[in-house]
């Protein structure tokens, strides 16, 4: 009987312990599942946080790049001179830690073959090539960023060249391609100030095509225009780079000879007169011989202001016409 009771007690105890064990195991499974779910949530949050930090870093980097781009573009557009714009661009690249050994702005493709160790970028305005940037010592990782920056420089360069073209059109006579009267007198005043400052001579010439009205009336305005273009070329071909020539109006031209005394001005004027006199002008179906008369004044010998120099040169031109045309008249030298 006692043995039976002990057996029953043992069985009950075993069942209880076993049930308790299974309850504990089940509890462990639930807790483990909860921990696993929490770990998954944590891992997900960690991944999202890491991605967020990465996105923030990328945005900050992009913002820095955009700000650098804005700064470079802003500074380039402060100038209307090509050399200054390139110097600013180069300095800004260096200040934004864009590493390179050398950078050169090329106007045309002639030197490209010499740039063997350089990476070449083509500068474009719409579909037109306007130059090249040759850069030495950049990495492949830098090339994309350089492309963006160089595109901005290209826009700035195009703006400068458009401005130069507009300015050139504004100061250039459309028929003769010489400077306009207005621009010449602005430059005349500047050159006169420079001559006063450095105590240099300056000579002023007025050139008039003899009997131009006759050619215009007989052969028509197209032939007359052709005569003016040809005379303009002949005048310009006899001058130095530092001299200034413009269309004064109608058939008259003006020339400013810097650092030139009276004798030198007379020599230049005679050379211009002889060149035009000896030349046959081909104007459409016509073959014409034309001449010019020239009046000369010199600073400071004859006058000290642009207005006085102009008036006296005009008087000399009038005298040359009265004396028979096709001649040079110098103020103060009254030859018969």
pTM above 0.75, yes or no: no
- Specify if 335 maps to a domain: no
Task: Enter the tokens of residue 91.
Answer: 């300095």
Q: What is the DSSP string of 105-132?
A: EESSGGGGGG-TTEEEEEEEETTEEEEE
Picking from 118, 139, 171, the residue at the C-terminal end of a domain is 171
Pair 29, 167 in one domain:
no
Q: How far apart are CA 271 and CA 20, in angstroms?
A: 126
Task: Enter the tokens of residue 282.
Answer: 């081909």
- DSSP code, position 261: -
Q: How far apart are CA 85 and CA 73, in angstroms?
A: 10
* Contacts for 150 with CB less than 8 Å, ≥ 6 apart: 121, 123, 133
Tens digit of pLDDT at every position of the chain (336 positions): 666 666 666 665 656 556 655 666 666 666 667 667 777 777 777 777 777 777 766 655 555 655 566 667 777 777 888 888 888 888 877 777 778 888 888 877 667 777 778 888 888 877 778 888 888 888 887 777 788 788 888 888 888 888 888 888 889 999 999 999 999 999 999 999 999 999 999 999 999 999 999 999 999 999 999 999 999 999 999 999 999 999 999 999 999 999 999 999 999 999 999 999 999 999 888 899 999 999 999 999 999 999 999 999 999 999 999 999 999 999 987 655
Pair 285, 190 in one domain:
yes
Pair 153, 125 in one domain:
yes
User: For strand 281-283 and strand 286-288, is the pairing parallel, antiparallel, or unpaired?
Assistant: antiparallel
Pair 244, 309 in one domain:
yes
- DSSP code, position 180: P
Q: What is the DSSP string of 4-29?
A: HHHHHHHHHHHHHHHHHHHHHHHHHH
Angle between helices 212-219 and 221-237 (to 10 degrees): 140
- Domain count across the chain: 3
Domain around 309: 181-330
Pair 205, 229 in one domain:
yes
Please choose, from the candidates 212, 325, 308, 195, the residue with its C-alpha nearest in 3D space to the C-alpha of residue 260: 195
Pair 185, 323 in one domain:
yes
Task: Enter the tokens of residue 82.
Answer: 């090509």
| Contact indicator for 249, 185 with CB cutoff of 8 Å | no
Pair 109, 229 in one domain:
no
- Specify if 86 maps to a domain: no
């Amino acid at each position: 009987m006692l043995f039976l009771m002990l057996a029953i007690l043992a069985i009950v105890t075993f069942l209880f312990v076993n049930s308790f064990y299974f309850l504990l195991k089940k509890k462990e499974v639930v807790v483990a599942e909860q921990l696993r779910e929490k770990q998954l949530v944590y891992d997900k949050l960690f991944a999202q946080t890491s991605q967020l930090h990465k996105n923030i870093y990328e945005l900050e980097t992009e913002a820095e790049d955009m700000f650098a781009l804005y700064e470079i573009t802003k500074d380039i557009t402060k100038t209307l001179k090509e050399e200054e714009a390139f110097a600013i661009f180069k300095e800004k690249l260096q200040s934004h830690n864009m590493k390179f050994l050398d950078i050169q702005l090329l106007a045309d493709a002639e030197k490209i073959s010499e740039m063997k160790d350089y990476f070449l970028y083509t500068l474009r305005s719409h579909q037109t090539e306007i130059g090249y940037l040759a850069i030495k010592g950049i990495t492949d990782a830098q090339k994309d960023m350089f492309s963006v920056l160089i595109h901005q420089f290209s826009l700035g360069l195009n703006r400068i060249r458009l401005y130069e073209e507009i300015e050139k059109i504004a100061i250039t006579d459309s028929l003769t391609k010489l400077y306009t009267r207005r621009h010449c007198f602005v430059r005349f005043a500047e050159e006169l100030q420079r001559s006063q400052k450095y105590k240099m001579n300056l000579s002023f010439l007025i050139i008039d095509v003899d009997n131009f009205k006759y050619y215009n009336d007989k052969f028509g305005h197209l032939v007359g225009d052709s005569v003016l273009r040809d005379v303009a070329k002949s005048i310009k071909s006899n001058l130095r780079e530092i001299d200034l020539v413009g269309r004064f109006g109608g058939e008259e031209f003006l020339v400013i000879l810097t650092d030139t005394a009276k004798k030198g001005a007379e020599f230049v004027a005679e050379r211009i007169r002889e060149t035009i006199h000896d030349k046959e002008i081909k104007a459409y179906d016509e073959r014409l011989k034309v001449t010019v008369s020239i009046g000369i004044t010199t600073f400071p010998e004859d006058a000290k202001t642009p207005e006085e120099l102009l008036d006296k040169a005009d008087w000399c031109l009038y005298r040359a016409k009265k004396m028979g045309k096709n001649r040079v008249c110098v103020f103060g030298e009254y030859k018969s």
